[in-house]
Amino acid sequence: MQADPGRNRGRPRAFDRDQAVLAAARLFWRRGYSGVSTRALTEALGVSASSLYTAFGSKAGLFEEAVRTYAERYREIYQRAVLEKNAEAVVERVLVDSVHEFTQPAAAHPGCLVSSAAMADSAGTLDTSAYIAELHASNERTLLARLEQAGRDGALADGADPSALTGLVQAVWHGLSAQSNLGSAREELLATARLAHTLLRRQLVPLPRENQGG
């Protein structure tokens, strides 16, 4: 029997959870949590209210998933970076990979949460400011532990202070984030990140030992 060419006409397209979270994040970032109605979400996601609640439980559940989806990428950057073979490579990965995340194309990224309306207007289930503060503190602890291990292994320059180095890397990271929010291009930010890495390298790489004996 010949298939009816009109059989599939009018069927809703398959639900793409990743795209739904991205679309929701754009709204939350721009308008804040309370500024986004359920109707606005269903229109942006192209689903019914019942489908939205089935997938995410509630508007608050969708908001929390959006925050965690995009903020957790930065935690992953640090977790990957500290697996590098030496402190120099660790810091390079933190800075360079973060710049690439800051400057993701709009089609794949909702923008920076830290500068968004959602930071001052959160869901009852998630204190966004507290969550982001914890995320930054966790990343700092992860980097500090790795640099302290490098210090114990003799893999930092003599006299290098892992705590001070961590603080400086974090200061550069936040500066790059702020510049990205102001519209700096990826190549500009990468140039800054690489210059910072070059300057930090003096503390991250031990001087070669002089040959002993005659």
Over the stretch 173-184, which tens digit does the pLDDT of each residue have?
999 999 998 899
Read off the pLDDT of each residue in 157-180 and give the average, rounded to a whole number: 96
The torsion of the CA quartet 64, 65, 68, 73, rounded to 10 degrees, works out to -160
CA distances from 145 to 3, 62, 76, 167 (A): 63, 33, 16, 13
Q: Which of 165, 160, 166, 110 is nearest to 136 (CA)?
A: 166
pLDDT one-digit tens code per residue, 87-101: 999 999 999 999 999
In this prediction, residue 8 has a pLDDT band, given cuts at 50, 70 and 90, of very low
Read off the pLDDT of each residue in 51-77 and give the average, rounded to a whole number: 95
In this prediction, residue 14 has a pLDDT band, given cuts at 50, 70 and 90, of low
User: Has residue 72 got a pLDDT over 90?
Assistant: yes
| End-to-end CA gap in the chain | 93
Contacts of residue 121, Cβ cutoff 8 Å, sequence gap at least 6:
32, 33, 34, 35
Specify the pLDDT at position 120: 87
DSSP code for 118: G
In this prediction, residue 210 has a pLDDT band, given cuts at 50, 70 and 90, of low
Q: Average pLDDT of the chain?
A: 90
The CATH architecture one would assign to domain 70-204 is Orthogonal Bundle (1.10)
